[in-house]
Structure 1
Amino acid sequence: MSSPEYWTKPWPSSSADIPPPSESAPAAVAARPTAEQVIAGLRATSEGGPDLVQLLTPEGERVTHPHFDLDIPPEGLRDLYRDMVLVRRADRECNALQRQGQLGIWVPLLGQEAAQIGAGRAMRPADMAFPSYREHGVAWCRGIDPTELLGIFRGTDHGTWDPLEKRFHPYTIVIGNQVLNATGYAMGQRLDGKVGDGQQDDAEATIVFFGDGATSQGDVNEAFVWGAVYDAPVVFFCQNNQWAISEPMERQSRIPLYQRANGFGFPGIRVDGNDVLATLAVTRWALEECRSGNGPILIEAFTYRMDAHTTSDDPTRYRLSDELEAWKLKDPIERVRVHLVRSQFADAEFFAQVDAESDALAERLRAYCVDMPTPPPERIFSQVYAEGSPPLDRQRDEFLTYLSDFDHSGGAH
């Protein structure tokens, strides 16, 4: 598939072509918008603009796009629906577990299921994913059981999967840091000859996930520079959920985020992040372009964070309920459900089976979390350095001897 023509934007030929600044330019410090202004802005931007790639409307209707299409059988649609339902249920259960004191914190993905499942299912087994801290749906697609995430949010480990086996990097808490790491990894893929015509069996690409708030970080922009200069096979996947904690999108960027790619010399595209079909089609295309040596590519998944930034956040203090209610009408799961029913691709028995499976998953998560073992203390000596050393081994032995004294004294020392 060729690159969409609308990525190519003409640049001003001279300074005379650049319009003068408006006489009514806003002050350096803008006043907080009124409720009416916020709602007006929502109405103007919630559809994502004319360049938005969409294949399934919020009403569950399949539509066409001049540059992207997705030929998917009914079974594939049902699989995507199942993925999103199970991931949402796991997310809701973990959110409840945190409220009940079983986890220290939780980062909800509610509302972003389509963006994550669509991108995750677009990957090949050899592709590498670099998440931030909200990519529970992508982890699911890479074969990571939700129980493996629990230790991260209880503070007992960094995740129990092997990143090289699952092709899924550990979660990154520092905002934007993983984007540089992913770009470096992608540069290594190119140097190792893993990029070519896209048809070779060992062709690889990298995809890195970050939010709209991360685009204001230096690491992300530096990664754009390195990726562009070295033709790194990396897909920059930005989940624009409209809020960087309490900072609305209109205070983060003067232009749509996908258009920033133009300034770095590579294509950017905006997709309906609540449309799992469009996200799957666009991400699949972008990864294939990167495997063929045409990277990097920026994808802006236009979505919405339906819950708090984390369980320590209270979004009612900074956003309106009208905004939340408007986005509920664009729910990523409901539109697929409606499409399945209207197209007679699924019956009541299928939906009942998925609901039963989600209940079982939630029960299993809860049971595991309540009885989750505390990691043995010697892990701090075996999980930091790749190899031991005499000083480290001596410290380990002294520490274990110290701990054994507690056991011999019945807990007193």
Structure 2
Amino acid sequence: MSDIDVASSAGAEGTEHIDEAAVAALTAPVPETIGDGGPELVQLLTPEGERVDHPDYSAYVADLDADDLRGFYRDLVLVRRVDAEATALQRQGELGIWASLLGQEAAQVGSGRALRPQDYAFPTYREHGVAWCRGVNPLNLLGLFRGVNHGGWDPDEKNFHLYTIVIGAQTLHATGYAMGIQRDGAVGTGDADRDAAVVAYFGDGATSQGDVNEAFVYAAVNNAPVVFFCQNNQWAISEPNDRQTRIPLYQRARGFGFPGVRVDGNDVLAVYAVTKAAMDAARSGQGPMLIEAFTYRMGAHTTSDDPTKYRVSAEVEVWKHRDPIARLKAYLTAHAMADTEFFDAVDREADELAATVREGCLSMPDPEPLSMFDHIYVEKHPVVEAERAEFAAYHASFEGGH
């Protein structure tokens, strides 16, 4: 008998009896998200920059040396600087829109660096840090938001799919791709250079989409080698988590039949370790996993959004003290793995990268209008060709100064 049945069952004399406890359980307010991620949070580096151990994941970072950690720091700083420059360019009218990753750098760099070359990543429109780790030129990202290309990089070369604007759709693409490499025999062979897995990125808001839940179903029943990586930045545009779920997001995986884990998304070491473990398991044939990277969107959802309309500044101030870059810098400094000269050199490199990004963005040529039809299908398609002709005629009607 369900809770609803219990709550409104008939008494012995035919009168309806209300079970007040059952009703209270069903109508209880949705619990607020635990501000610090709760005891289940996997963490290897505290917000203060202190190293802590974890029984399941410490081993996955044991072989990282000082060069590796300095490399993580460099990635975080450069990715944040590209993001800041792109935001400034949009404010100056040079980009149509920009989706900032401010505050989520560790979630993206940590997971991106955990991938092997043969792994394939399916991003949303905010995975600039993962793109950086996969070798995508930042100017390709800006070109997309400037409206001069469709992304500009070769997904097969980078093993990094083009950005997906439709919320959650990429999870189905990722699951299908994972089922494909599984059937191609590139999973569970024991060949480290051949076995591959797929990672699908999405936000907490996307977990409310049907596409994501359908992808979970297909991945589970097919034991697909796909890792679902949810960046829980606490806000689905303007809706908090407590408007979307009664339980921590990682626990949803249990209902579909595969494991889930919550990791400190501002801890680059923990994200690297958890992602590496999940991808290793997927490559070996153990099936899908859901990673919830518990992080925070420090800025707006996009540059067309005003977060002051729906969240308080005090909340942002709390998360500033969990900054992923500051905690890694504190750890490197405390353990004499980096000095002022190193940090200054990274800052100078960031300045140079920002100047290159700005100059490159401003010098991008406008595309030939009809080129928008060039890369839709491999071969000519009658509908697309008809649309091309119609647009060409429309465009020609404005020639001569009209």
TM value normalised by structure 1: 0.87
Tell me if the contact between 2:118 and 2:193 (Cα under 8 Å) persists in the aligned partners: no
Amino acid at match of 2:257: G
Amino acid at match of 1:50: P
Taking only the aligned residue pairs, the percentage that are identical comes to 61
Amino acid at match of 1:107: A
Is 1:62–2:51 an aligned residue pair?
A: yes
**Unmatched runs of 5 consecutive residues or more in structure 2:** 7-19
Relative distance call for 1:101 and 1:392 in structure 2 (3 A) is closer
Where does residue 39 of structure 2 map in the other structure? 50
Relative distance call for 1:396 and 1:134 in structure 2 (3 A) is closer
Residue correspondence of structure 1 range 305-384 to structure 2 within 5 A: 305-384=297-376
Relative distance call for 1:353 and 1:180 in structure 2 (3 A) is same
Tell me if the contact between 1:117 and 1:138 (Cα under 8 Å) persists in the aligned partners: yes
Q: CA offsets per residue over residues 161-200 of structure 1, 9 Å max, x none? A: 0111100011111111111111011011111111114444
Relative distance call for 1:137 and 1:397 in structure 2 (3 A) is same
Where does residue 21 of structure 1 map in the other structure? 22
Q: What is the Cα deviation at residue 364 of structure 1?
A: 0.8
- Give the CA RMSD over aligned residues: 2.5
Tell me if the contact between 1:107 and 1:134 (Cα under 8 Å) persists in the aligned partners: yes
Q: What is the Cα deviation at residue 357 of structure 1?
A: 0.4
Relative distance call for 1:285 and 1:400 in structure 2 (3 A) is same
Relative distance call for 1:412 and 1:83 in structure 2 (3 A) is same
Where does residue 7 of structure 1 map in the other structure? none
For 2:317 and 2:125, the matched residues in 1 are separated by 25
For 1:196 and 1:315, the matched residues in 2 are separated by 45
**Unmatched runs of 5 consecutive residues or more in structure 1:** 1-11
For 1:92 and 1:389, the matched residues in 2 are separated by 40
TM value normalised by structure 2: 0.89
Residue correspondence of structure 1 range 1-400 to structure 2 within 5 A: 21=22, 23=24, 26=27, 45-69=34-58, 70-71=61-62, 72-388=64-380
Q: What is the Cα deviation at residue 201 of structure 1?
A: 2.2
Q: CA offsets per residue over residues 277-307 of structure 1, 9 Å max, x none? A: 0000000010010000001000000000000
Tell me if the contact between 1:228 and 1:265 (Cα under 8 Å) persists in the aligned partners: yes
Q: What is the Cα deviation at residue 380 of structure 1?
A: 2.5
**3-state SS in 2 of match to 1:23:** helix
Tell me if the contact between 1:198 and 1:289 (Cα under 8 Å) persists in the aligned partners: no
For 1:136 and 1:190, the matched residues in 2 are separated by 28
Tell me if the contact between 1:382 and 1:388 (Cα under 8 Å) persists in the aligned partners: no
Tell me if the contact between 1:211 and 1:240 (Cα under 8 Å) persists in the aligned partners: yes
Amino acid at match of 1:263: G
The number of residue pairs the alignment matches comes to 383
For 1:228 and 1:397, the matched residues in 2 are separated by 45
Q: CA offsets per residue over residues 328-370 of structure 1, 9 Å max, x none? A: 0000000000001000000111111100000011111111111
